[in-house]
Amino acid sequence: MINFSCLEYLTYLCYNNYYKQASVIAKKMDQDLQRNKLNKSGRRPIVLFFWVTLLFLCFISGLLYYEYGVQTRCEEKIRQEISYQSVDWVNSQVAAAYAELRQAALIGGAVILIYLLFISLAFLAVNKNYLRPLKRLRQDVDRIIKSDYEYKIKPEPNSEFSYLYDFLKRISNHFQENKIAIENANVQRGKELDKVIGRLWKENLDMNKLLEDSRLLEEKLKQETDFANAIISCMDEGLFTSDTGGKVTFMNPSAERILEISGKDAFGKSLDEIAPLYRGIECKEKVGFADRPIMKSVRTGKTQTTTLADSYCFLGKLGKRTAVVLASSPLLKGDKIIGAVSTFRDVNVEQRLDEAKNGFISIASHQMRTPLTSMRWFAEMLIHKDAGKLNKEQSSYIKEVYQGIERMTSLLDLLLQIARIEAGRVKIKPTAIDFKKIISDVAASLGPLIDKKKQKLIMEFEPENFPAIPMDKDMVWQVFFNLLSNASRYAPANGVIRVTGKISGQTAEFSVTDKGIGIPKDSQDRIFNKFYRSPNAIKHVPEGSGLGLYLVKSLVEGWGGQVWFKSPDSKGTTFYFTIPLSGMEPKEGEVTLKV
């Protein structure tokens, strides 16, 4: 049953944009109107017509009953009086009765005409006030249901449905306003959607470009990876990588050949298990796991390198001995160390050649020292006039011979020291070193040279009570001797030689400074090479072997220190070197450094 509360609810739904629910209510209204389920005001003409028809039937029934009664009474009266009245009188009486009947019939006809006229007027009134507005109302509702929002509802004035028309008009107006708002919103959303589509299209183009770049980058990366793998596979040097725990993660074919194990079998195993590292020519001294160069790289984050003099070697699974030199570097992911990579090469041939060289130098030096010693003795005898008095010219000649013998002896001593260090034959006996005393002893041994040039030696230590460090005395003495002798030889007369020592972290740092000829920039990268001397040094002091600084570097790096220098604009030179505060570990060897 449709009533005004239903229409009000429909209006509420439309005002609040619940169009789906409003559509359902509107369809229900349409179905009710189609089944003629009208509201209470729609039933009024039917009820009125029913009561009018009922009253008319009652009136006709009463009229017929009245006529029938009149006719019956007339006939009864006629039958009672016909017996004693004349024919004329009877006829007059009959005529009077028929006159009454005609009068009743006329009255009944008039009543029927009046009723029909009333019915017609009532139908017209119902049609005007009820049926036609209802029909128009249904048409209006149909137009609204079909979303014909442009349709204008015209209310029926003085109609029973004017209130309902007001509701429909308000609903229609609201629909029109909502349609305009929706169209505007759709236009705005369409613009926004166009912008979004444009942005998505641009992003799609960017994404396609990015994907294409990614594909090209992936292809390039694959090519570079294949190229790198080809290089690694073709390397004559062995290469393997490990994680921070020292477990193998990769091994190239050369490493497999040298270590006599496949990469598949080595993967995930400890380096100590698949590639134990030894020191010494005979590969008898096993290197501790933490002391392996690759593990030092993991621990310190710095590159570790070895030389032929370190005498490292691998023992393969089948017992093959391979002398190697190694270089290890940490693998970084950002700032985090995730492992290390180590390369090594077979230096068996180089080691045999080096052994032969060192053997030749050792033998030659020893063989040459014997006649040189004899020559020195005889020269000293002549200088001291043990063989008779010499004239002035003869004394000059014999002094030159003696100095030549001394230089030759010093050169042989250096060659023997270097040969012993490179062969790893030097015995190390650490003792607590008083650095001030050892520098004073070295200065005393260089006294004639320093006094001749009237040079001054200054020592500065911080702290003043400098700690004693367990070191091999001969090695420390040799380092200071070479640095101080160079400073005195290349510094000007009346110059100052400054020696400093200080504690820097876990090391002791020493420096030797002079204001001499300095080192040219084009010679600085070769100054520690064996037998090398810069041109200005040769010009200033022709005598020299070029082995002193090489020996210094070998000794300092051998005990785990570093050596470097500064020579700004060739205005003097400062050499620096470090000694670990922990000192040196004792080592068994065949000979001492001192010759």
Residue 167: what pLDDT?
66
Q: Which of 299-308, 314-323, 568-577 has the lowest mean pLDDT?
A: 314-323
Largest CA distance in the chain: 232
* Same domain (yes/no): 171, 248: no
The mean pLDDT value for 351-362 works out to: 74
Residue 377: what pLDDT?
86
* Same domain (yes/no): 341, 383: no
Looking at per-residue pLDDT, the higher value among 546 and 593 belongs to 546
* Same domain (yes/no): 41, 148: yes
The mean pLDDT value for 524-546 works out to: 85
447 has pLDDT over 90? no
The reply to whether 307 falls in a domain is: yes
Share of the chain above pLDDT 70, in %: 71
Query: Model confidence at 502, in pLDDT bands (50, 70, 90)?
Result: very high
Residue 422: what pLDDT?
72
Quick count: other Cβ atoms within 10 Å of Cβ 265?
13
Residue 573: what pLDDT?
93
* Same domain (yes/no): 570, 553: yes
* Same domain (yes/no): 476, 513: yes
17 has pLDDT over 60? no
Q: At what angle do helices 392-423 and 348-383 cross, to 10 degrees?
A: 160
Look at the alpha carbons of 262, 265, 268, 269 in this order and tell me if their dihedral is positive or negative: negative
The reply to whether 264 falls in a domain is: yes
336: β partners? 333
The reply to whether 433 falls in a domain is: yes
Contact (CB, 8 A) for 457 and 571: no
* Same domain (yes/no): 342, 381: no
Contact (CB, 8 A) for 594 and 430: no
Question: Where among 425, 445, 469 does a domain terminate?
Answer: 425
The reply to whether 193 falls in a domain is: no
Q: At what angle do helices 435-445 and 473-490 cross, to 10 degrees?
A: 50
The mean pLDDT value for 489-503 works out to: 91
The mean pLDDT value for 160-177 works out to: 66
Query: Model confidence at 40, in pLDDT bands (50, 70, 90)?
Result: very low
Residue 66: what pLDDT?
59
Looking at residue 555, its amino acid is L
Looking at per-residue pLDDT, the higher value among 6 and 269 belongs to 269
Residue 562: what pLDDT?
93
* Same domain (yes/no): 585, 450: yes
The reply to whether 224 falls in a domain is: no
Share of the chain above pLDDT 90, in %: 15
Residue 60: what pLDDT?
60
Q: Which of 52-56, 93-97, 557-561 has the lowest mean pLDDT?
A: 52-56
579 has pLDDT over 90? yes
Residue 585, domain extent: 429-595
Full-model pTM: 0.49
Cβ neighbours for 202, distance < 8 A, ≥ 6 positions apart: none
* Same domain (yes/no): 269, 406: no
Cβ neighbours for 524, distance < 8 A, ≥ 6 positions apart: 565, 567
pLDDT tens by residue, 330-354: 998 888 899 999 988 888 888 788 7
The mean pLDDT value for 443-452 works out to: 88
238 has pLDDT over 80? yes
For the chain, the average pLDDT equals 78
Question: Where among 125, 157, 176 does a domain terminate?
Answer: 176
pLDDT tens by residue, 511-523: 999 998 888 888 8
Query: Model confidence at 401, in pLDDT bands (50, 70, 90)?
Result: confident
Residue 19: what pLDDT?
47
3-state secondary structure 201-259: HHHHHHHHHHHHHHHHHHHHHHHHHHHHHHHHHHCCCEEEEEECCCEEEEECHHHHHHH
Looking at per-residue pLDDT, the higher value among 281 and 554 belongs to 554
* Same domain (yes/no): 257, 376: no
Q: Which of 182-186, 280-284, 314-318, 559-563 has the highest mean pLDDT?
A: 559-563
Query: Model confidence at 428, in pLDDT bands (50, 70, 90)?
Result: confident
Residue 49: what pLDDT?
55
Q: Which of 42-56, 87-101, 334-348 has the lowest mean pLDDT?
A: 42-56
Q: Which of 49-63, 333-347, 355-369 has the lowest mean pLDDT?
A: 49-63
- In Å, how far from its chain's centre is CA 8? 62
CATH code: domain of residue 323 = 3.30.450.20
Q: How many domains does the chain have?
A: 4
Residue 353: what pLDDT?
80
The mean pLDDT value for 379-392 works out to: 82
* Same domain (yes/no): 421, 465: no
Looking at per-residue pLDDT, the higher value among 192 and 418 belongs to 192
